[in-house]
Every structure is written in C-alpha cells, then in structure tokens.
C-alpha cells in the first residue's frame, strides 16, 4: 500500500511531480491564511483607534463605542458622557 502511494505521488504533472504540486499548494494555502490573519489584525488595531469609553446618563450603560457615535447603544439616548479617549 505504501509503495502504491509512493508511485502515485511520483506521477508527473506537467514538469513537476504530484508531490511537488501538493507541497506548493500547501505552502500557498499557509501564505493565504497568514496574510488574512495579518489583515484582520491590522483592521482591528485601526478600529480600536476610533473607540472611546463612554457612559449613558439615562440608563447608566458604560462601555466602548465609536468616537463619533453620540448615542447610547443600549437605550438610544443622546445624553452620553465621554470618559476617556483611546489613542
């Protein structure tokens, strides 16, 4: 069975063997996943720059929201107080 697998992996695909094609595909998949993770990390880091700590003066909700969102995400009140600005 192992010999059959070895022969199968040595089949020619163009100028390469099937083993080389599979190895190149695996490396390409790893690179694509790595680039995707890096892009998501950079996106999250950029979004965090635009977040502020705020508190609602009506329902007393406290948390993080967008810098330009001036409504409480819980009750919709416009009476919110910005506590700290993230840099």
Task: Name residue, tokens 């022969």.
Answer: 7
For the record, the structure tokens of 57 come out as 């003066």
DSSP secondary structure letters along 2-43: HHHHHHHHT-EETTEEHHHHHHHHHHHHHHHHHHHHHHHHHH
Would you say residue 86 has pLDDT above 60? no
What's the pLDDT tens digit per position in 19-65?
A: 999 999 999 999 999 999 999 888 877 767 778 899 999 999 999 88
Would you say residue 87 has pLDDT above 70? no
The single-letter DSSP state of residue 71 is S
Of 6-10, 17-21, 82-86, the poorest mean pLDDT is in 82-86
């Amino acid at each position: 069975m192992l010999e059959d697998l070895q022969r199968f992996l040595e089949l020619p695909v163009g100028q390469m063997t099937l083993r080389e094609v599979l190895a190149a595909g695996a490396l390409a998949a790893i690179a694509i996943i790595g680039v995707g993770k890096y892009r998501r990390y950079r996106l999250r880091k950029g979004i965090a720059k635009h977040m502020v700590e705020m508190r609602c003066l009506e329902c007393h909700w406290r948390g993080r929201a967008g810098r330009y969102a001036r409504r409480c995400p819980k009750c919709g009140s416009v009476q919110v107080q910005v506590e700290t600005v993230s840099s």
